[in-house]
Chains A and B, each alone.
Chain A
């Protein structure tokens, strides 16, 4: 069955440290992949997307993600965390076989320690 999994419901890093948020998908055909960020009491903002072009995708706010087909992963990284990065992050997919709706992972809450 097709699924998208985010490992770790809560990640805490120190300011200036590396941020790594994990996302894996389960499908024989790679889907379109997205990362969205949701700040407290806010809507969903697109960070970046993979649509079968370059495997290393750069997004807003210094985030990037690398699509690795062999690992069925699309992990989100940022070299140096900033206090303003504290938010909920959702990995999301569009499956080729679906009627085009976007499906979200369970989300990872990122906390930044001073």
Chain B
């Protein structure tokens, strides 16, 4: 079965550079969520999109932006990278039209993009 695809798997950037992370949700899923997991930390919610519109916002820095495209894939754009941005970035997708269905899916996560800022 198709899963959530994230690219790239690994990314090394220098301070002050920019990075773009991509997420391809499970087919027919309309909602995408982004999470950041620092070393030894639990995943923290960054932002989510439903039907190409931002649906919720968490602890996402102003240097980061994201969008969801017409094919439902999403991109997380990160500028002026800092050493503290080094983390594992997860994307998850779900079908959000029905809260019960959404919970039953339990959110499918991608394998993540490991960003290292040097």
Say yes or no: is A49 at the interface (Cβ < 8 Å to chain B): yes
Q: Which residues of A contact B45 (CB under 8 A)?
A: 101-103
Cα separation A7 to B40 with both chains bound (whole Å): 16
Say yes or no: is A17 at the interface (Cβ < 8 Å to chain B): no
Distance (whole angstroms) from the CB of B10 to the closest CB of chain A: 10
Q: Which residues of A contact B103 (CB under 8 A)?
A: 32, 49, 51, 94
Closest to B92 in A: A102
Cα separation A98 to B56 with both chains bound (whole Å): 9
Question: Does A90 lie within 8 Å of B43, measured CB to CB?
Answer: yes
Binary flags per residue of A77-114, CB closer than 8 Å to B gives 1, else 0: 00000000000001000101011111111110000000
* Total interface residues in chain B, CB < 8 Å: 26
Among the listed B55, B58, B90, B104, which residue makes an inter-chain contact with A44, where contact means beta carbons less than 8 Å apart? B90
Distance (whole angstroms) from the CB of B74 to the closest CB of chain A: 14
Question: Does B43 lie within 8 Å of A46, measured CB to CB?
Answer: no
For chain A, residues 22 to 60, give those with C-beta under 8 angstroms from any C-beta of chain B.
32, 34, 36, 42-46, 49, 51
Question: Does A104 lie within 8 Å of B43, measured CB to CB?
Answer: yes
Cα separation A34 to B106 with both chains bound (whole Å): 7
A-B contact pairs, 6 of them (CB 8 A): A32-B103, A34-B107, A46-B108, A99-B56, A102-B33, A104-B44
Question: Does A43 lie within 8 Å of B112, measured CB to CB?
Answer: yes
Distance (whole angstroms) from the CB of A36 to the closest CB of chain B: 8
